[in-house]
Structure 1
Amino acid sequence: MPGGRLSHQDRLDIAAGLADGFGYAEIARQLQRPTSTISREIARNGGPGGYRADHAHYATTSRARRRRPEAGRRTIPQQAGDPRAAYVERFATMMVDGGLPRMASRVLALLYTSDSRTLTAADLVRELRVSPASISKAIGYLERVGMVHREADPQRRLQHYVIAEDVWLKAWEVSARTNFNWAETAAEGVELVGRDTPAGERLTQMAEFFQRLSEDMTGGAGFQDCLSVLAVLWQADRQLSAVELASTLDWPVERVSDAVDYAVKAAASGAGGE
């Protein structure tokens, strides 16, 4: 078994193992370390519910410096930045600018750019170098808005996280709901302070703006039908006829045709406005 002190990566792996529900013996086996080493490490740094890899590594390093202040320390040069990792962060920043929470954006960006179809909590902790609690909170948000779902591993006690096929439609819907909530909240404020007051006038303008924005994004029944058709086409592995779309959606063929016409007219309108 390898000796020496636990590295930062070892501690990240311990945190990932705890997040996946592994026992101390299983974590020790994966790291090829004695179980006693793992149990002491976790007990010394917050226990199984409070263990944080970065904090544990910093605390251990600080203790070593206090014990041996005279010993020189070798610095390990940082490796050159990974272009893919930089792209994931840039991708996440774009989504943050669009209104998604920061950690949820990082998780979504990593899932979307990964070669693997699924990632576990341990994978996300290791790749993003954050705590299991941060991953859990981000996954919870993405599940609530329908951008990610989980699949159980039939052979191991693991949860795999999978990005929704229609994730960008889900993102559009989240944005539309956010605008609607802004409008509703502003309207409640108008009722509270009165429309004829200075605050009421400002809140009225705000409510009308976000109401129009929400309506533009949702576009009424025609737009919603168009989104439903696009979602089916997105998930299909081949072109579908109007009859096949109608069968999948359990709609009349005429409704599918109307949704397609709506999309064509919207595209033509957008092209004409450029």
Structure 2
Amino acid sequence: MPGGRLTAADRRVIAEGLAAGLGYAEIARRLDRPTSTVSREVARNGGGADYRASDASAAAGERARRRPPGTDRVAVSPTDRGFAERLAAPLVEMGLPRMAARVLVGLVTSTAGGLTATELTARLGVSPASVSKAVAYLERIGLVTRERTARRERYLVGPDMWTRTWLASARSNAAWADAAHEGARLYGPGTPVGDRLAEMAHFLERLNKDMDGGPGSPTADMLTVVAAVMHAGGPITADDLASALGWPPDRATLALADASRFPMFTDPVALHRDPSGRYTAVARSDRLTGAQLSALKVRANSSAQA
């Protein structure tokens, strides 16, 4: 039922969808759930490569037994509030508006990773308008998502929030570096402005390279295994992939798991792991709407019949 807790049957649908190579959005459509519900469920239960419906149901039951009644619906203790303020302080120093930082920390430190506006208002002791403005800002920069149900709306910290933040920063640095290079060419080498812009461009490029880590970094390994799976031309196991790449098996296994868990790094390609543990590379279907996918299938069928 939309808005309720995931059932064992829902989790079987998720597992079957992942095994079939479906994206989170398509699985969510089949369940009539928000995409964030599916992505959060998969992330907290081992990621796309290791998700098992039975294990996820058992883990959910254990969490429910441990969770005190009314969690996140009562005021936080002075100790918790003090920690939240300390956690928010560096975010404010980095440039995040103070209220946005407090809301973000409130969501991060909530048991479920999500709260309603009413719960945030009570938790932070602020006005609904302040919460609304802060959430709108956090949503705009990709740190918070909304989950709408028939009765209420919850604000959530996505399972890949920090990954998306890193990607946004890297893309911003790359765009800034490109603009600086253009300016350096415009003003010409040897001129004060041209040299200044060239130095800026080189710094930003070095910063992005350091963030990525270069060859052997997790990001580079993810891209390498996806490229290798695509070039394999068919399903391939982690051990065979490691052998082909000349890597230790653990390195290949970890890179495959990371690429499955963080598909935004390999967008628009994603990895699909079949029940036998073999991997193939597929196009991410969650980049397209249901109508777009249907239209493409019709076109493909028409071309095949022509």
Q: TM-score, normalised by structure 2?
A: 0.43
Select the structure that is richer in helix.
Answer: 1
Larger RCO (CA under 8 A, 6+ residues apart): 2
Could you say which structure has the larger radius of gyration?
Answer: 1
